[in-house]
A and B are shown apart, each in its own frame.
Chain A
């Protein structure tokens, strides 16, 4: 047994805090650590901070840049934009992705749009308002300096993308169109029909490929990062490279550099079923975490209420439909359980329970995402869900357009929603103009990620993290059309400036491939692969992943409780043990082997899942995408506890008992308020 998770690791004593709070749900599951501060964010008025930092960050002589090697893992919006920009600046960039082309990264699937404080509609928008909306939307759990910067650079993103040829929607006069999105009161969302992510990603991809032709960027497709190389040559540890596996030949390659950037996306696939792509995984981030990068707020998960429900145990992923459907569709379940398998059209009006309209009369079907999601879950838990039974429960509620058709006519509904309704029909085979649609919530995005400072640098010097892979900008909940904004802001406009302060000290001493740190990292990877291929157990990787996903969804999904989370941790631990003993991975190490790829990813999901539960257990409050049943108002609304939890929970890896470092959140430019929608 070569690669059992090291549970005996003890944390660095200097990181461990004195004392132990007694009324602590997660007591015993973690070790309290020293507080953490972001030392890079400049002080002063919030609107000046980014300018100050850009000025203070040291420059790198253009002649030196080509001598500096930059590794960027991931080619989504955050990775491709960073690689292109760093290439343009003259650095020597290596870009890695597990897909067969950089253009396939999952940013491509984002539908709605991208926010930017252009104020083209003259409706009172500004960087400050976008900042305000984002902090508030994040339930006051994000870092205000970062968010302000995000809002500030948002306008540059649109300019850049338009110049690249991104075909945004336009008005008749030839100027860019905007729409309002995600419940905000200004129209600041730029869009390209329902394929904004695709168009933005292709813009970044083209910029990246242009640099490949220019010789500044080298791309490594079908390459998966399996380990981070951290070297301490006397002046403290630094990230100096990565170990990757060529997914076609199986060769384990070492790539060394002066700096490593992770733009490897989110980890929603820990739930097995999510709207993420099949290949989305946490391995790059988790390997970095195990090497010393703290993981921040891992429990913050965004769940989207309007996805197409699961149809059976064969289900491999979930598909999201735009939330705009709730503007005209009415959500209901049968009042009586015995009606649940009936044709919905035959259920009389008085036998239908329009539960959102009933419970939240003023907002009705337009309650926020998390409320709508939880309400649907409760209905199904009660046994009033509809659609096919999966593992004994019907998980779906109706989203009915009959009233809308009566009001607007079929043409009216078609005009607004035809692409969504067509997509629904393609997937389900049911005509939503005749039969009510069925929807159910699904995991969509994770706000948590590797902890980074204002410079986007993790707790490992020389390891930078951008996009969904970091935790920084969305707090406990992300606003619609803000993920694309953050990915591109990080890659085009933030990282290229902040990274130069680090690279001003480079080039660092060359590392030979036989350096002990390199050899050790490479050996760890080889042994792990060897282990998976030699267990020769009885269960497939997917079956473990599915079971882990069920545990996470049940206990660390829409609603979390102390008991449930503790149970989940036990279940995950025993499942993980079984996985290492009983998994069955066929094929060889030196060929294209998709089971082997998945085995490594699932192994890391186990450890992440456990940490997510511990983080959720620790945070005995409800905020944004994290709902603790113990912390709600009498009306069932999420209840924050700013006095106890206005901090970022940054977890240091230490085996089974991680160390919690708290970064206090202070707000100087905005006042904390409790969310209210009633």
Chain B
């Protein structure tokens, strides 16, 4: 099939950037979206035009490196990552608009690549359980109710891609934070640091320039891992508890 692509090009963080239009012919429905861009890049390279920079790594939907706002939806029209989106989700003759994640906390580095290190700093602020190597007790010394373990797992599947931020009209990272708060808060090992964790992570989130959540729900709809909105409720509850405990 033939496609028209409107793609954001920006040489570096200081460049204003603009949309550019490209044609791709011979797109196979079996290609992944990123393979389609690979083909475009080969073509651009042959024409002495610099290829379009975009992030990807594992290309099997788990590392969270790929991004892209595709026709106004993070990771495109399916509930999956861009690397697992295939061209059979589009039709011959379609026009596809491709933009980088837009958030002040995710500055564009080049073309479609953004800097998501703000997420790392939110984790640094408290997204962990403090246990030095070698000091762990025997694994079976603390049983974890199966349902708690399941909920922890279900939200721990977050891949940190940033689609929630990209989708959110407020540019909030609440779903990302909520997933980590819920993951660690569901487990007995996560209890001692529960109040300080939520306090510090939320403070870092605000400091990074993410917006506040207004519970609209576009984040959960965009999440390729289907993290549910209730993690944000959990996040709010944990913060409320932290306030009660004087944090």
Chain B nearest CB: distance from A54 CB in Å? 11
Q: Is B144 an interface residue (CB 8 A)?
A: yes
* Known contacts A118-B139, A428-B30; is-contact A586 B124 (Cβ 8 Å): no
**Are B63 and A316 touching (Cβ within 8 A)?**
no
- Minimum CB distance partner of A118 in chain B: B139
User: Measured between alpha carbons, how far is A640 from B13 in the docked complex, in Å?
Assistant: 57
A101–B116 CB distance below 8 A: yes
A-chain residues with CB within 8 Å of residue B210 when the two chains form the complex: none
Query: Which residue of the partner chain, among B28, B109, B139, B152, contacts A592 with CB atoms under 8 Å?
Result: B109
A447 within 8 A of B: no
B127 touches A206 (CB 8 A): yes
Within 8 Å CB of A195, what residues of B?
62, 157
Contact present for A99 and B51 (CB under 8 Å): no
Q: Given A106-B58, A170-B144, is A210 in contact with B130 using a C-beta cutoff of 8 Å? A: yes
B124 near A540: Cβ-Cβ < 8 Å:
no
Residues on A with C-beta less than 8 A from B56 are: 278
Known: A101-B117, A165-B189, A542-B42. A206 touches B140 (CB 8 A): no
CB atoms of A206 and B38 under 8 A apart? no
What are the residues of chain B within 8 A of A540 when measuring CB–CB? 42, 45-46
| Residues of chain B from 113 to 149 with CB closer than 8 A to chain A in the complex | 113, 115-117, 119-120, 123-125, 127-140, 142-146, 149
Q: In the complex the two chains form, what is the Cα distance from A170 to B148 in whole Å?
A: 10
Chain A residues 171-212 with CB under 8 Å of chain B are: 171-176, 192-193, 195, 198-199, 202, 205-207, 209-210, 212
Selected interface stretch from B80-88, B91-99, B214-222: B80-88
B187 at the interface (CB under 8 A from A): yes
Q: Check if A84 sits within 8 Å of B133, measured CB to CB.
A: yes
Q: How far is the CA of A371 from the CA of B156 in the complex (A)?
A: 37
**Of A81, A105, A275, A592, which is in contact with the most chain B CB atoms at under 10 Å from its CB?**
A592
User: Residues 20-33 of chain B: 1 if any A CB is under 8 Å from the residue's CB, otherwise 0?
Assistant: 00000000111110
A540 shortest CB reach to chain B, Å: 5
A128 CB, nearest partner CB in chain B, Å: 20
Selecting from A154-162, A357-365, A410-418, the interface stretch reads A154-162
Q: Is the CB of B187 within 8 A of A167?
A: yes
Pair A167/B153 contact, Cβ less than 8 Å: yes
Give the segment of A18-26, A307-315, A450-458 that binds chain B.
A307-315
B230 within 8 A of partner (CB): no
Look across to chain A and name the residue whose beta carbon is closest to the beta carbon of B65.
A104
Number of A residues, CB within 8 Å of B: 82
Q: Mark A109-124, 1 if CB is under 8 A from B, else 0.
A: 1000000001010000
Contact for B189 among A102, A164, A279, CB less than 8 A = A164
A160 in contact with B131 (CB, 8 Å):
yes
Contact of B35 among A176, A212, A315 (CB under 8 A): A315
Contact B139 A162 (CB under 8 A): yes
Chain B 36-54 interface mask (CB, 8 Å, partner A; 1/0): 1011001001101111010
C-beta contact mask, B51-75 vs A, less than 8 Å → 1, else 0?
A: 1010111111011110000000000
Contact of A655 with B by CB under 8 A: no
Known contacts: A312-B31, A319-B60. The answer to whether A160 contacts B140 by CB under 8 A is no
* Residues of the B chain whose Cβ atoms lie less than 8 Å from the Cβ of A570: none
Question: What is the total of A-B residue contacts with beta carbons within 8 Å?
Answer: 220
Q: Are B117 and A279 in contact (CB under 8 A)?
A: no
B205 proximal to A (CB < 8 A): no
Partner of A316, one of B34, B123, B142: B34
Which chain A residue shows the least CB distance to B37? Answer: A316
Which of the residues B59, B137, B138 comes within 8 Å of A278, measured between beta carbons? B59
Query: Which of B48, B80, B144 contacts A174 (CB under 8 A)?
Result: B144
Pick the residue among A171, A207, A277 that contacts B146 (CB under 8 A): A171
A47 at the interface (CB under 8 A from B): no
Q: Looking at the assembled complex, report how far the CB atom of A278 sits from the nearest CB atom of chain B, in whole angstroms.
A: 5
Find out whether the CB atom of A317 lies under 8 angstroms from the CB atom of B60: yes
A177 to chain B, nearest CB (A): 9
Report whether over half of chain B's contact residues are helix, strand or loop; otherwise say mixed: loop
In the bound complex, residues from chain B placing their C-beta under 8 Å from that of A542 are 38, 42
Asked whether, in the complex, the Cβ of A163 is within 8 Å of the Cβ of B189, the reply is yes
Shortest Cβ distance from residue A485 to the other chain B in the assembled complex, whole angstroms: 14
What chain A residues lie within 8 Å of B153 (beta carbons)?
167, 169, 192-193, 199
User: With A100-B116, A109-B60, A205-B123 in contact, is A314–B86 under 8 Å at CB?
Assistant: no
Q: Identify B62's interface contact among A159, A198, A279, A594, CB under 8 A.
A: A198
Chain B residues with CB below 8 A from A314, complex form: 28, 31, 35-36, 38-39
Interface: B183 (CB within 8 A): yes
Q: Provide the bound-state CA to CA distance between A163 and B191, in Å.
A: 12
Chain A residues whose C-beta falls within 8 Å of the C-beta of B128 in the assembled complex: 164-165, 206-207, 209-210
Per the bound structure, the CA–CA distance linking A119 and B156 in Å amounts to: 27
Task: Give Cα A170–Cα B188 distance, bound, in whole angstroms.
Answer: 14
**Chain B residue contacts of A428, Cβ below 8 A:** 30
A167 touches B115 (CB 8 A): no
Which residues from B are CB-within-8-Å of A101?
Answer: 64, 116-117, 119-120, 160
Residues of chain A within 8 A (CB-CB) of B77 are none
Given A101-B116, A206-B127, residue A429 in contact with residue B140 (CB < 8 A): no
Decide yes or no whether B110 CB sits under 8 A from chain A.
Answer: yes
A248 is an interface residue with CB less than 8 A from chain B:
yes
Q: Is the CB of B156 within 8 A of A199?
A: yes
With A165-B187, A176-B140 given, is the CB distance from A429 to B123 under 8 Å? no
User: Taking the complex as formed, is A134 at the interface, i.e. its CB lies under 8 A from any CB of chain B?
Assistant: no
Docked pose: A669 CA to B186 CA in angstroms: 44
Q: In the complex, which residues of chain A have a beta carbon less than 8 angstroms from the beta carbon of B190?
A: 165
Q: Is the CB of A167 within 8 A of B120?
A: no
Given contacts A316-B59, A592-B12, contact A102 B139 (CB under 8 A): no
Beyond A109-B63, A174-B146, A429-B86, whether A165 also contacts B51 by CB under 8 A is no
Contacts known (A173-B143, A195-B157); A206 close to B123, Cβ less than 8 A: yes
Contacts of B55 in A (CB 8 A): 100
Chain A residues whose C-beta falls within 8 Å of the C-beta of B138 in the assembled complex: 159
Q: Quick check: is A493 within 8 A (CB to CB) of the other chain?
A: yes
Question: Is B120 a contact partner of A165 (Cβ separation < 8 A)?
Answer: no
Q: How far is the CA of A593 from the CA of B46 in the complex (A)?
A: 16
- B11 close to A (CB within 8 Å): yes
Query: A276: nearest residue on chain B (CB-CB)?
Result: B58
- A171-B146, A317-B59 known; A586 vs B32 contact (CB < 8 Å): no
- In the complex formed, the residue of A with least CB distance to B44 is A586
Tell me which residues across on chain B come within 8 A of A99, comparing CB atoms. 57, 63, 65
Q: A176-B139, A213-B124, A248-B109 are in contact. List 15 more A-B contacts (CB 8 A).
A: A100-B65, A104-B64, A106-B63, A156-B134, A163-B139, A165-B152, A170-B143, A170-B144, A195-B157, A198-B157, A207-B133, A248-B115, A316-B32, A428-B30, A492-B134
Closest 5 CB pairs of A and B: A174-B143, A163-B136, A206-B128, A167-B153, A311-B30
A-B contact pairs, 7 of them (CB 8 A): A167-B156, A169-B149, A170-B149, A192-B153, A213-B124, A492-B133, A540-B45
Q: Enumerate chain B interface residues (CB-CB to A < 8 A).
A: 11-12, 28-32, 34-36, 38-39, 42, 45-46, 48-51, 53, 55-60, 62-65, 78, 80, 84, 86, 88, 109-110, 113, 115-117, 119-120, 123-125, 127-140, 142-146, 149, 152-153, 156-157, 159-160, 183-184, 187, 189-190
